Structure 1
Amino acid sequence: MPTITAPAPAAPTPVRKAAPYENWRPPIIGVSLLVPVGAGALVVGLLGCTMLPTGTVYGGQSLEQATQNVLHGAPGGLPLVRRVVLAWVQMRRRKVITHVLATESMPRKDVEQLTYRDPRAEVRVLPTLQVIDKLTPKGRLRALVGLQALATGETAYIEGDVVRTTGAHAEMTS
């Protein structure tokens, strides 16, 4: 008499559990620059896409030193005003912190001497509205909040996509 054999039951599919959040890697710290040119233009770096000039803050380096390393060629260095935005986002295993610093409005003749830290990129001056339209959503948020903070004289804080004012800084950085 023939017997019917059932196929062996398949091994249960392991269920992937989300790894718990751990900040086991040091944060990535960077700087971005808002460089106004006159009343209606910004300096941008073009490396296949429009972006604010950016760089990395290395261990032991001040924000001002890191910023001066992003764009070279300004007579006497970049005329930094202050930090206008502090933005951070918590990634799965590390925090990414970006300081947006603004310069004084620079004349076009001084901007023409600037070179970007990455030789593949090109420094260009574009109308502010055109820059805002071409930036990524996160870049657009940083630029708009930075321009507003520059105009009001305050520092803004962005956690993820949430913008806060100076009073919320203490609770966000702890």
Structure 2
Amino acid sequence: MPTITAPVTPTAHSADPVPAQKTASYQNWRPPVIGVSLLVPVGSDSLAVADLRGVILMPTGTVHAGQTPEQAVQDVLRGAPDGLPLLRRVALSCVQMRRRKVITHVLATESMPREGVGRLSYRDPRADVRVLPTMRVVDSLTAGGRQRVLVALQALATGETAYIEGGVVRRSIPADLVQG
């Protein structure tokens, strides 16, 4: 079966020229992913982390529609008798991926004793909650995770709220993200 392989071009007697092909941007054509990450200090030199079969990660979860980050973070770690002793939001990280924005709220708890952390369980039953020295945690995270943890620890120490946009720490959180 013969096929035409030459491009179609407008002829001299054609009234309308062939319109130029428009390219659509891939950014934000899907709704953003909104998540939470939990910073749980244990004493002055350790953090509670999730150990997922040898992979160390900060306890994280998803913010579902109609939930606040504070409500969503209570589903990340379970087992605290009165819920997690949340202190405040210490950082907000935004990363523009190819098709959507990923927004991560980093919330910190009050410093917990080792015994209190021992009662906690992670949302993924394959993972164990462990207490590790802060520097060991920082060394085992990805570059993005390492930046979030270091900036969140600094914000926790100074009483500020940090904003990270595309890997760059900014002075203030944009107004459209303050409510989210």
- 8 Å contact from structure 1 (residues 81, 102) kept in 2: yes
Q: Paired residue for 2:33?
A: 28
RMSD: 2.0
- Give the fraction of aligned pairs with identical amino acids, expressed as a percent: 67
CA distance in 2, matches of 1:11, 1:42: 64
Unaligned runs of 5+ in 2: 8-21
Cα 1:110/1:24, change in 2 over 3 Å: same
TM-score, with length taken from structure 2: 0.82
Unaligned runs of 5+ in 1: 1-9
What's the CA shift for 1:23? 1.7
TM-score, with length taken from structure 1: 0.85
- 8 Å contact from structure 1 (residues 41, 126) kept in 2: yes
4+ long deviations beyond 4 Å: 171-174
- 8 Å contact from structure 1 (residues 155, 165) kept in 2: no
The correspondence for 1:127, drawn from 130, 133, 140, is: 133
CA distance in 2, matches of 1:133, 1:112: 23
Q: 3-state DSSP class of the match of 1:109?
A: helix
Aligned residue pairs total 159
Q: Paired residue for 2:115?
A: 109
What's the CA shift for 1:123? 0.5
CA distance in 2, matches of 1:37, 1:163: 26
Matched, 1:154 2:149: no
What's the CA shift for 1:87? 0.2
Cα 1:129/1:18, change in 2 over 3 Å: farther
Q: Paired residue for 2:52?
A: 47
